[in-house]
Amino acid sequence: MADLLGDLAELRRRAREDRHAYSFPLLFFGVASFLALPLYAPAEPPSRGFEVRYPVLLGLFWLVVLLAGGLATVWWYRRRGTRVGIETSTRGYLGATVIGLSGPVVGLALEHLPFRFYSGTGAGLIVLAVATVLWHRGAPRAVTSTAAVLGTAVLQHDQPAIAQFIAIGLGLVVLAALERSTRFTTITAAYLVALCVSAAFTPLVVSQPTAWSLGSVVVLPGSVLLVGGLVGLRRG
């Protein structure tokens, strides 16, 4: 009986291993992060705040990256599933991509609220935690999605410099849950830690901003994505 349980655990482990395809999204978003660096050139004349020279171009770049990256990731998982013979459901990831992209739109409505959150980041994280608990408990999809959209929007609104990385992180958390891979979960956790560190300690407000000082907010999370993608590629 114990042998049977051991054999089944081995089958489960093998099936999970064969489903792994996380290196692609990590590499895609990692490379995109570094490609975005030139767009973080400071505004002319330089100001002390987080003001880039081409804000529309930067916004458009990340919109295209998030959209193309989300769709390419779904395509990649489906293609790999067909090739290997074991498919991962990508519906949750597609949902996370839509939530990540809808955050800035909902954020516009947040501007018109009659009150301000004491800590938008704290409120956003709490709502996202509630959404995660609801998801785990199998709450109606409309309730979970609404909580996830609200939490993401509040978080992105409070942390505009890393809004795109919050969207990427949301997708990675969902993918890690779908893949049930310890390595991918560890990489995703490292990415989220890097994101928090990057948001907390990057000197966005300096007297003489440069593309590096403004763009440094993308270097740490971008590096984790790249290294994680390379690790995934090496391990197959």
Q: Which residues bind other proteins (CB under 8 A)?
A: 1-2, 4-5, 7-8, 11-12, 14-16, 18-19, 81-82, 84-89, 180
Q: What whole-number distance in Å separates Cα of residue 22 and Cα of residue 178?
A: 11
Cβ pair 190, 167 in contact under 8 A: no
Q: Which is nearer to other proteins, 1 or 200 (CB)?
A: 1
Q: Which is nearer to other proteins, 85 or 140 (CB)?
A: 85
Handedness of CA 59, 150, 161, 206 (dihedral sign): positive
Mind giving me the DSSP string for 3-61? HHHHHHHHHHHHHHHHH--THHHHHHHHHHHHHTGGGGPBPSS--SSS-BS-HHHHHHH
Shortest gap between Cβ of 89 and other proteins (angstroms)? 4
Provide the greatest CA pair distance for the chain.
74
Q: Which is nearer to other proteins, 86 or 211 (CB)?
A: 86
Burial class (CB in 10 A: 0-12, 13-18, 19+), 236: exposed
Q: Which is nearer to other proteins, 175 or 194 (CB)?
A: 175
Shortest gap between Cβ of 26 and other proteins (angstroms)? 21
Give me the residues paired with residue 42 across strands.
52
Shortest gap between Cβ of 170 and other proteins (angstroms)? 21
Q: Which is nearer to other proteins, 16 or 53 (CB)?
A: 16
Q: Which is nearer to other proteins, 9 or 35 (CB)?
A: 9
Shortest gap between Cβ of 190 and other proteins (angstroms)? 25
Shortest gap between Cβ of 95 and other proteins (angstroms)? 15
Distances (CA, A) of 92 to 1, 6, 115: 35, 30, 33
Task: Give the rounded distance of the alpha carbon of 133 from its chain centre.
Answer: 19
Backbone angles phi, psi at 180, to 5 degrees: 50, 45
Shortest gap between Cβ of 233 and other proteins (angstroms)? 22
